[in-house]
Amino acid sequence: MGKAAGERMGVVTALVRSSFLVSAVYDKAGREYGLTPQQGQLLCVLMPQPYGMRELGETLGLAKSSLTGLVDRCAQRGFVRREPDPRDRRAVRVALTPRGRELVEEFYAETCRRVEALPAGLGDEDRERLAELLSRVVLDNKVPVVFMDADEGVPAADGG
C-alpha cells in the first residue's frame, strides 16, 4: 500500500502529504481561535494592508459570491470592515478592525509556532535547505502572499 516509515517518497507524494500536514495544523489552530480555514486565510492576507474585493478574490482563489459571503461573515463577527477605496469611489476595500487585528496577530503567531515545529527532526542546515527549495517552488509558481514569513514580523496597519 504505502511506503514503510523511513522510506524516501517521490516529490509528488512528499509535497501532497506536506500540504495535508500544514493544512491540518492551520485548521486546528483556526478552530482554537474560532476561525474557519478560509476566515484565517482572509485575516492573514489582510495583515499588511486593506485589499479590494477583486484583489482578494484573485489572491484567495475565490469566486465573487464566495468571497462576498466570507467577508460578510467576518464583518458580522467584527473582524473586518468595508471602507471606500481612495483610488476608485465605486469600489470598496476590506480592512481589519482592531478586534480582527488582535485576533489575527494571535492566530498568526500560534500558527507560525506550530508549523515551525513540524520539521523539528531536521538540523539547521536541513531546515535552511528545505526553506530554500520550498521557496523556489512557491516563487516559480507565483503563489500569492497568503501568509507572511515569520521573520517579517506582523506589520502595523498603515491604512494603505
Ranges of each domain in the chain: 32-147
With a cut of 70, say whether residue 107 has pLDDT above it: yes
Residue 93 host element (H or E): strand 88-96
| CATH no. of 32-147 | 1.10.10.10
pLDDT tens digits along 9-60 = 899 999 999 999 999 998 999 999 999 999 999 999 999 999 999 999 999 9
Q: What is the pLDDT of residue 154?
A: 46
**144, pLDDT greater than 60:** yes
Summary count for the chain: helices (H), strands (E): 6, 3
Asked whether residue 159 carries a pLDDT value surpassing 80, the answer given is no
63 CB-near residues (< 8 Å, 6+ apart): 57
pTM above 0.85, yes or no: no
Of 94-98, 111-115, 142-146, which has the strongest mean pLDDT?
94-98
Report pLDDT for 147: 73
Query: For residues 72 and 151, which has the higher predicted lDDT (pLDDT)?
Result: 72
In tens, the pLDDT along 75-100 reads 999 999 999 988 888 889 999 999 99
Does position 155 have pLDDT exceeding 50, yes or no?
no
